[in-house]
């Protein structure tokens, strides 16, 4: 079987210098908005559209590898896309689906993102 990484097209999105440690940025890959995060100089990418109601995750808060959606507080791990916290509206809590994660690779100072 061919490793998944080889089947994927990567797109150069930014230079490493454009994304300081523990910050996020929105990049567009293949027409999709992707949240790219630098967590302690490792890079991770997930789709930027919150699985709850489409909030822009990159407008939220990044603590370690956990991003909190600015709309209703759902939390996702940018390393995996896994949902780790529910959305909350008033007193109502709602489970949310995991976010789609994207492959990231670094070549020299170029950060590349791949979408399967």
Binding residues for ligand FES (CB under 6 A):
50, 52-55, 69, 71-74, 87
At its nearest, how many Å lie between ligand FES and the CB of residue 7?
Answer: 31
* CB of 39 or CB of 52, closer to ligand FES: 52
Residue 48 is given by DSSP the state S
Residue 85 is given by DSSP the state E
Are 46 and 34 within 8 A, CB to CB?
yes
* CB of 13 or CB of 50, closer to ligand FES: 50
Question: Residue 96, Cβ neighbours under 10 Å: how many?
Answer: 19
* CB of 50 or CB of 112, closer to ligand FES: 50
At its nearest, how many Å lie between ligand FES and the CB of residue 34?
Answer: 16
Residue 19 is given by DSSP the state S
Are 50 and 57 within 8 A, CB to CB?
yes
At its nearest, how many Å lie between ligand FES and the CB of residue 58?
Answer: 12
Which of 107, 109, 112, 116 lies closest to 36 in space, CA to CA?
112
* CB of 54 or CB of 64, closer to ligand FES: 54
At its nearest, how many Å lie between ligand FES and the CB of residue 46?
Answer: 13
């Amino acid at each position: 079987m061919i490793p998944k990484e080889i089947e994927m097209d990567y797109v150069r999105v930014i230079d490493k210098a454009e994304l300081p440690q523990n910050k996020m940025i929105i990049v567009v890959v293949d027409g999709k908005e992707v949240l790219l995060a630098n967590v302690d100089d490792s890079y991770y990418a997930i789709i930027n559209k919150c699985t709850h109601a489409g909030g822009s995750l990159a407008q939220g808060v990044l603590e370690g590898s956990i991003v909190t959606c600015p709309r209703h507080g759902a939390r996702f791990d940018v390393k995996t896309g896994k949902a780790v916290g529910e959305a909350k509206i008033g007193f109502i809590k709602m489970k949310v689906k995991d976010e789609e994660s994207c492959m990231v690779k670094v070549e020299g100072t170029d950060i590349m993102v791949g979408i399967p």
